[in-house]
Chains A and B, each alone.
Chain A
Amino acid sequence: MKKLLFAALAVALVLAGCGGGGKSDVVKVGWLGALTGDQAVWGENELNTVKMLFEEYNAAGGIEVGGKKYQLEVIGYDNKGDPQESVNVTKRLTGQDKVVAIIGPNSSGNAIPMAPILEKAKVPDIATVATNPKVTVQDGKVKPYNFRVCFIDPYQGAVAAGFAYDRLNARTAAILYDVGDDYSQGLREFFKVNFEKKGGTIVADESFNSGDVDFRPQLSKIKAANPDVIFMPYFFKEVALSANQARDLGIKATLLGGDGWPSDQLISMGGKAVEGSYFVNHLDYADPAVQDFKTRYKAKYGKETELNGFLAHDAVLLFVEGLKKAGKPNGEAIAKALEGIDIQGITGRIHISPETHNPEGKDAAIEKIVNGQYVFQEKYAAQ
């Protein structure tokens, strides 16, 4: 057994060692995200997107940087959705694989501990859907090597609260959230603050624990409070389950959610229960700008892209622009070039603020579920 284990170790080390070499005209870009564990759906989608776009760039002759053509290569690693593994992977990407930039991850808990390593290695990271403000700014100071292409939780929470109060004329709201999940706790906090600031009342504030599947005890309590809307800031599996259970209990209130909602699975699992619900999204699915990417992805992988694909797409666009602007494939130069950069992505205009490294002024889209389709309502900016 011991021999076997050591043989496996040796083989794996050799395998790992082989990946290191590369030609000089190749720019290596890292990617990290979950390929195993409960977030694997999104990780797979992001990595597929990055691979597809890089192949397309390479087929078109590569990227011209400082008068020289470069091919792009992605080195993607699984982090299981575990921050400790994210730290390992970041060290591996920056130290061993010598990437010039990293794309991902898709959650804030995994993005935050990367910062010190990125700073030491001088390699920028562009997060896809890490929406916690602290990914790029800690204690009022911007982290020099962390960037993102998505809006942040306070903004999303404010949009959801504003939309509920102003457009849906909701005066009372209930919240159901996942107490074990950072994303869910964040959105819940900012929704609550903003909805109350507008003059609304939170009549029930209930939580569940990551991994729960039965929400009826909390929903029965919410039913008794009779709210106008129920805010459900978590991911689509739980959304579909809780929506079904809410309707089973006879709750008629409008359901409202965030960017954890959009997915084919929500419609197939949630069915009638989510009909007529609203959610905040990063983009309008019907927008002509995104159709091309959707078709290409479907053609290549035989399935629809998740929301993460769109943001990974824009992270790649942002990286390529940064690389061109930097004029050389060097992490530090790319990080400098990314500050203040202004591009048109498929999810909207992305103007990276030098103060926050966030895409400032990116509007959120409100979608409504009608007949099992996502119907774009409006671009809504929080006031």
Chain B
Amino acid sequence: MVQFLQQLINGLSIGSVYALMAVGYSLVYSIMNFSNFAHGGVIMLGAYFGFFSLTLLKLPFAAAFLLASVGTFFVAIIVERVAYKPLRERRAPFLYFIISAMGASILLENLVIATIGPTFRTYPEVFSKALIELGPLAVGRLDLIIFLISAVSLTLLILFIDKTKLGKAIQAASYNVKACALMGVNTDRVILTVFGLGGFLAGIAGVFFGMKYTVYPQIGNITTKSFIAAVFGGLGSLPGAVLGSVLLGVIETFVAGYLSSQFRDLIAFVILIAVLVLRPTGIMGKVTEDKA
């Protein structure tokens, strides 16, 4: 029983990291209908921004946190402008976007290696790493803080999309970009907002990832998992991305803990395929009309 609860805590903690990353994937997918693989690179930059704000600029945590998120906000927008906008204007098929995104991700990762260096760096201790012990169970203080801030920022995001005019425009565009443009919505602005929001969340995710684990140029690779989580939850749905992430984290943990750790990742891919085949729209995905 102790083992079971501890694994559940482990799974939730892993899932909450996936969630912050997965939301960025889903947000972009909901409007652009493609998987923005450059998102991992942006998260990685967020981790570095936060790290240097804390160590070089010696900023307090809240300021560093904000600076990192604002930094990735702009990086994400630049990526959109450089790598996607020309394709968008030409109405290129989605694969071109994916390839362009992969190019951007190769570029970002190696830019960091060439300029900052390949070594990994450790975040200074911002929060006490002391554990909260509940009997034989261990819960990381950092985990709890991450969980809370993630929950707050995701709630704010959902409120923003539900309540503001711009948010409504995003919702409308996610149903039908063309019709939306005809109704007089500035779709270019909507798309920029979506990328900016995704970038902002990438900054948060990057800083937390860095604090929890470490900072290194290949952080982007880990986001494949969060991408799977986004598909699992249903690409394009924000609550779906969160739910998918938490479920994937917990399932993975239980597979590793009770079946075999060799199969931890294999199971993740099996789930991915099973979901695609049985319910391609994921748990809560938006249903798109088959245009084929």
Contact = CB atoms under 8 A, between A and B. Distances in A.
Contact of B218 (A206, A211, A221, A250): A211
A248 interface: yes
A217 B264 contact: yes
A250 B113 contact: no
B3 A220 contact: yes
Interface in B41-82: none
A5 to B, nearest CB: 14
B222 interface: yes
A82 to B, nearest CB: 14
Contacts of B6: 220, 249
B119 A41 contact: yes
A44 B118 contact: yes
Interface residues on A, range: 20 to 34
Interface in A261-290: 265, 268-269
B213 A214 contact: yes
A250 B214 contact: no
Nearest to B266: A209
Interface centre among B7, B113, B118, B138 (most CB of A within 10 A): B118
B216 A237 contact: yes
B225 to A, nearest CB: 9
Contacts of B253: 216-217
Contact of B261 (A37, A206, A240, A249): A206
A41 to B, nearest CB: 5
B14 interface: yes
A221 B257 CA distance: 6
A19 to B, nearest CB: 21
Interface in B6-31: 6-7, 10-11, 13-14, 17
Interface in B204-224: 213-214, 216-218, 221-222
B120 A269 contact: yes
B256 interface: yes
A240 B216 CA distance: 14
Contacts of A240: 214
Contacts of B222: 211-213
B131 interface: yes
Interface centre among A36, A216, A221, A241 (most CB of B within 10 A): A216
Interface string A233-256: 000010011000000111000000
A74 to B, nearest CB: 20
A217 B11 contact: yes
Interface residues of B, number: 36
A53 interface: no
B188 interface: no
Contact of B213 (A206, A209, A213, A224): A213
B261 A217 contact: yes
B140 interface: yes
Contact of A208 (B3, B140, B214, B261): B261
A295 B238 CA distance: 55
Given A218-B256, A220-B6, A220-B10, A209 B120 contact: no
Contacts of A269: 120, 122, 214
B272 to A, nearest CB: 15
A40 interface: yes
A35 to B, nearest CB: 8
A179 interface: yes
A220 B118 contact: no
A40 B254 CA distance: 34
B118 A221 contact: no
A207 interface: yes
A249 B120 CA distance: 24
B256 A250 contact: no
B74 to A, nearest CB: 26
Contacts of A217: 7, 10-11, 14, 252-254, 256-257, 261, 264
B262 A179 contact: yes
Interface in A164-223: 179, 206-209, 211-214, 216-218, 220-221
B14 A214 contact: yes
A107 B245 CA distance: 35
Interface of B: 3, 6-7, 10-11, 13-14, 17, 110, 113-114, 118-120, 122, 129, 131, 136, 138, 140, 213-214, 216-218, 221-222, 252-254, 256-257, 261-262, 264-265
30 contacts: A36-B113, A37-B113, A38-B218, A40-B118, A41-B118, A41-B119, A206-B261, A207-B261, A208-B261, A208-B264, A213-B214, A214-B10, A214-B13, A216-B14, A216-B253, A217-B256, A217-B261, A218-B256, A220-B6, A221-B256, A221-B257, A221-B261, A237-B120, A237-B214, A241-B213, A241-B214, A248-B131, A249-B6, A250-B136, A268-B122
Given A213-B213, A265-B120, A269-B214, 4 more contacts: A237-B120, A241-B214, A248-B138, A269-B120
Interface of A: 36-38, 40-41, 44, 179, 206-209, 211-214, 216-218, 220-221, 224, 237, 240-241, 248-250, 265, 268-269
